[in-house]
Structure 1
Amino acid sequence: MRARIAAVMMAVAGIAGLTAGPAAAAAATTENDTATCAAVVNTPCISHQHDGEGVFGVAQVSADPGQLTVVRVEVRTQKAWGSPWGTVASATTVRLGSAKAVTPRVVTTDLRMICATAGPALEATQQVTTCTNPF
């Protein structure tokens, strides 16, 4: 049963990577920076990066090398103060061990926030969600 769930999670991650576009898919597979992530296992480290044209959401998670790990990062925006936050870009990575995901570029003047959920892919109750302060 766990093998079937893992296969479904891998398929979903592959589809999400393909629908994000070639640039985002390539960025989401560069996972060499996970060593710089905080030492707290299964808790996502989140940040945003600017490229002069827009902002990217970045999330990393440190995990046991044998654990099937999921990390999902979202860029959320708010049109006006007090209005609901909406997800405008997201990326998901599922793999064994530590993982990293990078969203596609978002170009907006709206208030932004980066949120990430990460942890064991087969144990949703052990996944942790965290967000940056709005910027």
Structure 2
Amino acid sequence: MRARIAAVTMMVAGIAGLAAGPAIAAPATTENEAVACASVLNTPCISHQHDGEGFFGVAQVSADPHQLTMVQVEVRTQKAWGSPWETVASATTVRLGSAKAVTPRVVTTDLRIVCATAGPALEAAQQVTTCTNPF
């Protein structure tokens, strides 16, 4: 019975994920390149990028050039259905204007999500957190 409930829940989550669409994908860039983010100012764009050996969590935020901006990205995994999400990789960048952070490579077969928090570095109440759908 638990297996059926878990299967139905996963199916509903998958359908909801397809209906919501993918997270805004960001092209691979170096830290010094301009951040091209299709989101609202101070709201992070998040994605995951694969290479031959694993994947990276990527977060970008567009901000006023004179604002001290913080962006933090985390890759979280879940060992088993219903178990807590655990952060396995993270990266933080603080700089003036737009910012980008990329986690170290993660190699896992566990269920995973990428979450990011971004906004004015000195005003935590104005920072925004968002996550991808599980993949």
Query: Does TM, normalized by the shorter one, top 0.5?
Result: yes
In the alignment, what sits opposite 2:93? 93
Structure 1: distance between partners of 2:104 and 2:46:
15
Tell which has more relative contact order, 1 or 2 (C-alpha 8 A, sep 6+).
Answer: 1
Identity %: 85
| Aligned-partner residue type, residue 114 of structure 2 | I
- Structure number with greater Rg is 2
Matches of 1:131 and 1:75 in 2, distance apart?
A: 10
2:58 corresponds to: 58
Moved over 6 A (4+): none
Q: Once superposed, what is the RMSD of the aligned Cα atoms?
A: 1.6
Shift of 1:52: 1.4
Question: 2:35 aligned with 1:34, yes or no?
Answer: yes
Deviation at 1:32, TM superposition (A): 1.6
Contact 1:75 1:115 in 2 (8 A): yes
Which is richer in helix?
1
Q: Secondary structure in 2 aligned to 1:119?
A: strand
SS in 2 for 1:80: coil
Q: Secondary structure at the match of 2:114?
A: strand
Structure 1 pair 40–31 and aligned structure 2 pair: CA distance change class (3 A): farther
Gaps of 5+ in 1: 1-26
Give TM-score, length-normalised by structure 2. 0.76
Q: Does 1:118 align with 2:113?
A: no
Deviation by residue 1:8-37 (Cα, 9 ceiling, x = unmatched): xxxxxxxxxxxxxxxxxxx996242512x1
Q: Any idea what SS the aligned residue of 1:32 has?
A: coil
Length, aligned pairs only: 108
**Superposition deviation, residue 105 in structure 1:** 0.2
- Deviation (angstroms), 1:39: 4.0
Secondary structure of the corresponding residue to residue 76 of structure 1 = strand
Q: Distance in 2 between matches of 1:31 and 1:113?
A: 26
Q: Distance in 2 between matches of 1:95 and 1:30?
A: 11
**Matched residues in 1 for 2:33 and 2:128: separation?**
22
Give, in whole Å, the separation in 1 of the partners of 2:127 and 2:32: 19
Query: Per the alignment, in what secondary structure is the counterpart of residue 125 of structure 1?
Result: helix
Q: Quick check: 2:64–2:97 contact (8 Å CA) kept in 1? A: yes
Where in structure 2 are there 5+ consecutive unaligned residues?
1-27
